[in-house]
Amino acid sequence: MQIRYKLTLLAFLLCATSSLALAQETVIVQIDPTTQRFVGDESALDREKYFKIHSGNDNDPDISKFLTDYDVSVGRSFWSPFSYAKQKAGEVGVYPQPKTGPGTVREVKKGLVGTDHPQNVIRYNIDVNAAAEWAAEYYKNHVEQSGRPEFYEPINEPFVHAGDNVFKEQQPDDALMRRRMAEWFGAIGKKLHETPELANMKVIGYSSAWPSVELWDFGHWDSRMKMFMDVAGEHMDGFATHLYDGINVTGQDTRRSGSNSEAILDLIETYSYAKWGKIIPHAISEYGGIEKGYPDAYSDVKSIQSVKSINHLLFNLLDRQNDLLLSIPFITDKATWHLTAANNYQPYGATLWKPVTIGQPDPQEFDFTARIYFYKLWAGIKGDRVLARSQNPDVQTHAFLDGNVLHIALNNLADETKIARLDGVAALPEASGARMRSLRIYDQQRPQYTDETLATAPAELELIPGETKILSITLDEAVSYGNAIKTTKYYADKHLQPIAKDQPLTFKFSGVAAGSGYGVLRMSIGRKHTMSKSPKITVNGRSVQMPDNWKGYDQANREDFFGMIEVPVHHSLLAETNTVTVTFPDAGGHLASLILQLDKFDTAVDIPLGMRPYAEPTEWAVYPNPFRNQLVFKVPEAKNHVADVVLYAMDGKKVLSKSIPFSDGFMRLNTDDIKQCMYLVSVTVDGKRFSQRVVRN
Who's near 161: CB < 8 A, 6+ residues apart?
A: 118, 119, 167
616 in active site: no
Q: What is the DSSP string of 275-333?
A: HHSS-PPEEEEEEEE---SS-SS--HHHHHHHHHHHHHHHHHHGGGGGGEEEEEES-BS
Q: Phi/psi of residue 573, each to 5°?
A: -80, -10
Rounded to whole angstroms, the Cα distance separating 693 from 565 reads 27
**Reading across the β-sheet that carries 542-544, which strands appear in turn?**
505-509, 578-583, 536-539, 542-544
State yes or no: cis peptide before 273, omega within 30 of 0. no
Per DSSP, helices labelled H in 111-214 are 118-121, 128-141, 165-168, 174-193
Who's near 566: CB < 8 A, 6+ residues apart?
A: 393, 520, 521, 522, 523, 547, 550, 551, 597
Choice among 153, 157, 262, 269 that is catalytic: 157
Rounded to whole angstroms, the Cα distance separating 93 from 82 reads 8
Distance of CA 252 to the CA centre of its chain: 19
Choice among 286, 291, 467, 566 that is catalytic: 286
Rounded to whole angstroms, the Cα distance separating 629 from 659 reads 18
Rounded to whole angstroms, the Cα distance separating 285 from 504 reads 38
Candidates 53, 188, 64; CA nearest to 111 is 53
Distances (CA, A) of 567 to 508, 533, 551: 16, 11, 12
Rounded to whole angstroms, the Cα distance separating 596 from 533 reads 18
Candidates 491, 591, 490, 580; CA nearest to 533 is 591
- In DSSP terms, 286 is beta-bridged to 242
Distances (CA, A) of 561 to 338, 528, 553, 564: 37, 6, 11, 10
Rounded to whole angstroms, the Cα distance separating 442 from 255 reads 16
Give the amino acid at 349.
G
Rounded to whole angstroms, the Cα distance separating 602 from 34 reads 12
Per DSSP, helices labelled H in 560-665 are none
First and final CA of the chain: distance in angstroms?
40
286 in active site: yes
- Active site (catalytic) residues: 157, 286
